[in-house]
Chains A and B, each alone.
Chain A
Amino acid sequence: MLVEVRGGSFDPWRELADFQRRMTGEKRGKYGATSIFVGTMRDFNQGNDVRTMLLEHYPQMTEKHLHKIAIEAVARWDLRDVLIIHRVGKIAPDETIVLVAAWAAHRAAAFEAARYLIDELKLRAPFWKKECLPQGERWVSSE
């Protein structure tokens, strides 16, 4: 299990490949399904151009709750492994905001767990987004 808050840009596909490569022997050959969600920054939102975004978080509380969510998923589904990486700091369009992945023997568990990870992250992990528009800055609301 890996849960990480990252201050710089990252390539989700490389992270997945590296993580899977590092899996120990006991996990190899034991998963038949990997479900992935990648959230990427857009250059538009609510009819406005968005130039950059600032992702703020509550250090330590963020990691604590991401871990909790990951542990809940592992308790609820028969998973081989779980990965969560979330970006913080200044971010540009086309960069990855979040990556979640779940490895399981069968697809139902992998799909459901990945959905659970991203949905719970959005509800509970203390991150906030501020968009920088040509007209000025605005906080993204949860509605």
Chain B
Amino acid sequence: MAITVRFFASLRERMGCEQVVLDSQDIGTVAAAWERVAGDEALPANLLMAVNMEYAKADSVVRDGDEVAFFPPVTGGGHAC
């Protein structure tokens, strides 16, 4: 009965850990998972979200066993080109 929440890049540093495992009870959406890990801090507007490695939205459904991830905008490819 668990949901794994992962953080990447600057958010990982700010949260001080790579992942948190939550009891899935009462976590029905991505926003609810965020609330559980971040407390009163509102979901940053530019933060990206994924459920089971697919891009998701704050109101996307989260089920037991899912992997939720939060991360800043991606910056792959050439050097800031």
Chain A interfacial positions (CB closer than 8 Å to B):
37, 39-42, 45-46, 53, 55-58, 60-61, 64-65, 86, 97-98, 118, 121-130, 139-142
Chain B contact surface mostly? loop
Give the B interface residue count (CB, 8 A). 20
Find out whether the CB atom of A128 lies under 8 angstroms from the CB atom of B53: no
User: Contact partner of B80 among A45, A56, A118, CB < 8 A?
Assistant: A45
18 interchain pairs, CB-CB under 8 A: A39-B79, A40-B79, A57-B76, A65-B53, A97-B79, A122-B75, A122-B77, A126-B48, A126-B50, A127-B77, A128-B10, A128-B71, A128-B76, A129-B75, A139-B10, A139-B75, A141-B73, A142-B74
Find out whether the CB atom of A126 lies under 8 angstroms from the CB atom of B8: yes
Q: Which residues of A contact B8 (CB under 8 A)?
A: 56, 58, 126, 128
